[in-house]
Amino acid sequence: MNRSLVTGDGKKNYRRVDPDYKHKVYGLHNADTLRFCYQCGTCTANCPLSQLIDVYRPNKIIELARLGIRNASQSNSFLLCSACSQCTKGCPQGVKVHELMHALKELAAGDENAQNYLLGGFEDALTALSREMPFPISYCWICLNPPADGAGVIADAATQASAAQAGAEVASAEADTDMFNKLARDVLYRALDRIENNDRISDKEGAAKIAVIGSGPAGLTAAWELNKAGYAVTVFEPLPEAGGMFTVGIPTYRLPNDIVASEVEKIIKQGVEIRTNTPVDKVMFSDFLSGEEFKAVFIATGAHLARKLRIEGENLKGAVFALDFLRGFNLGEINSIGNKVVVIGGGNVGIDAARTALRCGAETVQMFCLESRDEMPSHEWEIQEAVAEGVLVNPSWGPKTILGDGEKVTGVEFIRCKSVFDESGRFSPVFDEKSRQVVEADTVITAIGQSPALDFLREMVETERGAISVDPLTMRTNLPGVFAGGDTVGGTASLIEAIVAGKTAAGSIIRYVEGNES
């Protein structure tokens, strides 16, 4: 291996303005918006990753890129941006910060010296991250734009076999990026053995026991943090495997299951008890509230209720929800799907479902969404990867009816969507009833959003628009000793936001059980 890959020897060349680099930066998609940045710092203030690692400052990276200084793309933690887009949402100047981060990563990936420098710094960044979260490898694996073969360096054999069997046309992303990602994944894979979570303090004498409901990124981060501080934590999880969307949402070709399993195992080894196959129901929740066994509860049940289209034909055989399909695929229960697949929804979950359908052997996969191509909610690069693999993307169409033969799906009738949002930006689709098309299909996968399932709370915990209400600074709910965070609070968001919510809640729970709450 190139020695500078580990030592980061390329560093010295990267501290000056480089006209060539500047030229390349301004050639990136959306780079013209850089000119409007006035360094207010809002992107950094809004960035959940910055809350975990204070050296990570998107505004600084933006400034260096704007000036054309190469080490813009070589901050130690640069590779850790997960494209959650909180930075972009807060920018008063409309700078597309998260898209620029992604583009800068790609630019660096094509520069051999930057590769060396970045990967050298990446080891340090990983170590720093591992002090703040229990899933540094899984998280970073997702942050890297996957190589087009999606397999990474250690993709599980089953995934590769099914992709090959499906004959999925796996197009090549840029060779440089591909190579860079492979090298980065190699660093990650080695770190899987290197990084141990062994800084737990011993059990606190007579320490309170704490219940965590849900074993996703939010729940396990809180459990890990509380356990490190000496508390006994029990995590309850209905599924046979822990990890939440890390395990059952994000497809295995993007994040191999064995990586998540290995990190979950470390959490268990540290001392967290995880009870899988154990959903918390109304009775159990009432018991938790009695305070007899647990002194505090953290609710982190995510958003697993699929939104329905509410159109005719949704109950036909062959009409499925993206989350059910992805869960079945990830748990190894589903390895085939129909031949003619239609995916409804233009978000990232729809993209994952479409690409997974290809890997399950579908002959054609077509995505349809209300939004125009520019308005599609998924990341641009994910759309491009899906298209490169053979997914046909059909923007500006809304489903009218799922057609069937009385038993099974046979197709979908679509009508043209003229606009999705009204003048004030509210969702208010307008259709052109005269413009219609019927698309043949034997499978329809609906991916139009998810919401939290909150029945077990017995309406005792306050909610707002279908999600749990919390004080965002402490994650406290209206009930004393009951905290909540992650997707169950805000609807489907991102891994980094869920992880930060878990950490914040853990801090508040410790203050609560120790009687230090202000």
Which stretch of DSSP H or E encloses residue 416?
A: strand 409-421
Shortest distance in whole angstroms from residue 42 CB to ligand SF4:
4
**105 belongs to the binding site for ligand FAD (CB under 6 A):** no
Q: What is the four-CA torsion angle of 4, 6, 7, 13, rounded to 10 degrees? A: 50
First to last CA, the chain: 53
**342 belongs to the binding site for ligand SF4 (CB under 6 A):** no
**279 belongs to the binding site for ligand FAD (CB under 6 A):** yes
Site track 55-84 with ligand SF4 (rule: CB under 6 A), x = hit: ---xx--x------------------xxxx
Beta carbons within 10 angstroms of residue 194's beta carbon: 12
Which stretch of DSSP H or E encloses residue 392?
A: strand 392-394
137 is written with which tokens?
Answer: 């490898």
**101 belongs to the binding site for ligand SF4 (CB under 6 A):** yes
Shortest distance in whole angstroms from residue 485 CB to ligand FAD:
7
Q: CA angle, 365 as apex, 444 and 166 as ends, to 5°?
A: 115
| Bridge partners (DSSP) listed for residue 402 | 412
Total residues contacting ligand SF4 (rule CB under 6 A)? 28
Q: Which stretch binds ligand FAD (CB under 6 A): 174-182, 190-198, 430-438, 489-497?
A: 489-497
Q: At what angle do helices 495-513 and 136-143 cross, to 10 degrees?
A: 150
Shortest distance in whole angstroms from residue 239 CB to ligand FAD:
5
Q: Which stretch binds ligand FAD (CB under 6 A): 29-37, 170-178, 400-408, 483-491?
A: 483-491
Q: Of 288, 198, 286, which Cα lies nearest the Cα of 234?
A: 288
Contact between 402 and 312 under an 8 Å Cβ cutoff? The reply is: yes
Instruction: Between 31 and 264, name the residue whose CB sits nearer to ligand FAD.
Output: 264
Q: CA angle, 319 as apex, 315 and 323 as ends, to 5°?
A: 110
Shortest distance in whole angstroms from residue 179 CB to ligand SF4:
23
Q: Which ranges in 279-417 belong to alpha helices (H)?
A: 282-290, 322-330, 348-359, 380-389
**216 belongs to the binding site for ligand FAD (CB under 6 A):** yes
Site track 14-53 with ligand SF4 (rule: CB under 6 A), x = hit: -----------------------xxxxxxx---x-x----
**349 belongs to the binding site for ligand FAD (CB under 6 A):** yes
Shortest distance in whole angstroms from residue 129 CB to ligand FAD:
14
Q: What is the four-CA torsion angle of 41, 50, 139, 321, rounded to 10 degrees? A: -60
Q: Which stretch binds ligand FAD (CB under 6 A): 54-62, 151-159, 209-217, 396-404?
A: 209-217
Shortest distance in whole angstroms from residue 87 CB to ligand FAD:
13
Q: What is the four-CA torsion angle of 31, 250, 323, 453, rounded to 10 degrees? A: -90
Touching ligand FAD, residues 443-472 (CB under 6 A): 453, 456
**256 belongs to the binding site for ligand FAD (CB under 6 A):** no
Q: Of 499, 496, 507, 497, which Cα lies nearest the Cα of 474?
A: 507
What residue ranges bind ligand FAD (CB under 6 A)?
82, 84, 142, 213-219, 236-239, 244-245, 249-250, 279-280, 300-302, 304, 326, 348-349, 352, 453, 456, 486-488, 492-496, 498
What residue ranges bind ligand SF4 (CB under 6 A)?
37-43, 47, 49, 58-59, 62, 81-87, 90-93, 95, 97-98, 101, 496
